[in-house]
Copies of this chain bind each other. A is one copy, B any other.
């Protein structure tokens, strides 16, 4: 993941064409050009099927009767297990994009809610902006790109809290436990367990980051693992216990005489 283009070229003994988003999304003809006659390798970070664009590329190749061989790889979708939460207890994955003044999409809120209603953890993938143009440069047709931006854990948590405050339906609360995952798979990877409001003040350091919002199905072993990453283990244990009460079915209360009179 940390290798430079030069290092990869020297490793493979071949020239590498850097495929930016534009090339991948609109340049399938260029990528598949001659692929029926010679081998073309399309390298990705993570699992090749992490993005619909890659599925689309395979479909286009199949339509042109180009044989495709997939070599699988570790991906954040399974390496996230390194935080100690079991992979089979994760629900659907959501993406958190940078909010702007006019664009604050929150469809992920319902997905987190759905996951938590059935007790599942939610992996939140944090936005990255690489090779993006400013609106002004885009309008003027200037191919000048903004410096790359990577969402921090703190910003993600602030956006989570903003939308929860707006919706007010408690899909999660400021006290819901979560795990911040930084630089996963690199030698400097780190984890931090805390509530969403605590992590809104967490300095997560260099990118990339992801966040997992806990579900109710938190096994004893999972909790033991998460406690290793908590600043205040006792508090975090209590936060998890309190949060788990959320979506439990309500306890049965025997009717009182007043109730039966009505």
Q: Does A32 contact B (CB under 8 A)?
A: no
| Segment of A74-82, A152-160, A234-242, A252-260 in the binding face | A74-82
Q: Does A221 contact B (CB under 8 A)?
A: yes
Q: Does A70 contact B (CB under 8 A)?
A: yes
CB atoms of A74 and B56 under 8 A apart: no
CB atoms of B78 and A72 under 8 A apart: yes
Cβ–Cβ < 8 Å partners of A73 in chain B = 74
Distance between Cα atoms of A114 and B222 in the complex (Å): 22
Distance between Cα atoms of A228 and B118 in the complex (Å): 33
Cβ–Cβ < 8 Å partners of A26 in chain B = none
CB atoms of B77 and A78 under 8 A apart: yes
The residue in chain B whose Cβ has the minimal distance to the Cβ of A81 is B49
A side interface size, CB within 8 A: 43
- Pick the residue among B55, B87, B91 that contacts A77 (CB under 8 A): B87
Known A-B contacts A47-B81, A82-B49; A225 and B59 likewise in contact (beta carbons under 8 Å): yes
Q: Does A89 contact B (CB under 8 A)?
A: yes
Q: Does A126 contact B (CB under 8 A)?
A: no
Q: Does A207 contact B (CB under 8 A)?
A: no
**Minimum C-beta distance from A97 to chain B (A):** 14
Q: Does A172 contact B (CB under 8 A)?
A: no
Sample of 8 further A-B pairs with CB below 8 A, known A49-B78, A114-B118, A117-B118: A47-B74, A47-B78, A47-B81, A55-B221, A58-B225, A77-B88, A92-B120, A118-B118
Instruction: Give residues of chain A (144-197) contacting chain B, Cβ–Cβ below 8 Å.
Output: 185
6 contacts between A and B (CB under 8 A): A47-B74, A50-B81, A52-B86, A74-B75, A75-B87, A77-B77
Q: Does A93 contact B (CB under 8 A)?
A: yes
Cβ–Cβ < 8 Å partners of A86 in chain B = 49, 52, 55
The residue in chain B whose Cβ has the minimal distance to the Cβ of A95 is B88
